[in-house]
Amino acid sequence: MHFAKLQEGCRIAQKEQKPTSLDHLKNAFLSALDVDWDWLLTKLPENILIVIAKHWNSGQETEGVYILPDTNILLVHPPLSNTQIGCFHAKLMLLFFDGWMRVVVASGILIPYDWETNENVIFVQDFPIVQATGIKNHIVNKLSQYDFSRAKAKLIASIPGAYKGIENMKKYGHGSLCKVVQEVCGPNENLIRMSTYLTSLYLKNVDLNPARGEALAEALHRNTTLNHLDLSSDAEDLMNNLKSEGGTMLSL
């Protein structure tokens, strides 16, 4: 999931947070690529329902909803793309308290290394409830009860697939990110520099020309976590077209 900060006059608005503790937590939804259960269970309360959605191995596991034995965890294996590429990599938390909800978007997955050792980023904002139904709702239905009018960010989904046509390309990923930047800052603003937090980037069989190579180099220039970049191809006619100009920029 890409994350674009919604800015007022292209300046980051200050976050508003409520003081809280886990003792006041009523429900929670967490999602991640992977989970270290032994570590995570020591961080969560045991007396409330917690829903966790994570990626799963289609060769060993199945899509569905499961109760994690001897815990208060409802485990969700969401539908995966049938394109054989991509994975469920959302890192979203929805923490429900009396009268308000905390939204957390993090760059780390639910393992101790990402939260105790590695460098990651996190966005937090609290939203007040506007209408409580008084009944137990599906988490998606709960969201309509909260006031998001003062949201300081826009969430941009990345869904694997091949998208044709300008409008379809603007629905997800970088296309959606470009659309949001134009909506927030206007079409005539100078190019906004974007920092990335990536450990691996696979661009296999991608048509990269010198200009795209230069743009990629610019985007990766401030990345301090990348340790694997795949620019290979399966066939000669699919080889990238970086040429010396694009290759030089990537090697700097």
Query: Average pLDDT of 42-53?
Result: 91
DSSP per position, 84-145: S-------EEEEEETTEEEEEEESS-BSHIIIIIS---EEEEEEEBS---SS---HHHHGGG
DSSP-assigned beta bridge partners for residue 41? none
* Mean pLDDT value across residues 13-34: 74
Residue 92: which pLDDT band, with cuts at 50, 70 and 90?
very high
Binding residue numbers:
91
**101-116: per-residue pLDDT in tens?**
999 999 889 999 989 9
Helices 210-220 and 243-251, axial angle in degrees (round to 10)? 10
Task: State the pLDDT confidence band at 28, using cuts at 50, 70 and 90.
Answer: very high
pTM for the whole structure: 0.68
Active-site residue flag, 89: yes
Residue 90 corresponds to which amino acid?
A: A
Tokens read off for 2 = 């890409």
* Least confident among 37-46, 175-184, 238-247: 238-247
All structural domains of the chain: 17-149 (3.30.870.10), 194-252 (no CATH)
Share of the chain above pLDDT 70, in %: 64
pLDDT at 209 over 90: no
Please say whether the dihedral angle defined by the alpha carbons of residues 143, 34, 230 and 234, taken in this order, is positive or negative.
Answer: negative
Q: Residues annotated as binding site for substrate?
A: 91
What integer pLDDT is reported at residue 205 of this predicted model?
63
Flag whether pLDDT at 218 surpasses 80.
Answer: no
Q: Is 22 in contact with 47 (CB distance < 8 Å)?
A: no
- Whole-angstrom CA distances from 104 to 29, 153, 168, 211 are 10, 11, 28, 35
Q: Give residue 251's pLDDT.
A: 54
The answer to whether residue 207 scores a pLDDT higher than 70 is no
Query: CA torsion, points 223, 43, 28, 18, in degrees to nearest 10?
Result: -80
Averaged pLDDT for residues 138-142: 77
Extract the tokens encoding 90: 């959302």
Q: Which residue in the list 2, 55, 77, 89 is annotated as catalytic?
A: 89
CA distance 30 to 116: 18
> Quick one: 70 exposed, middle or buried, by C-beta within 10 A (0-12, 13-18, 19+)?
exposed
pLDDT tens digits for range 124-136: 999 999 876 655 5
Amino acid 112: pLDDT: 93
* Confidence (pLDDT) at 139: 76
Q: Is 208's pLDDT higher than 70?
A: no
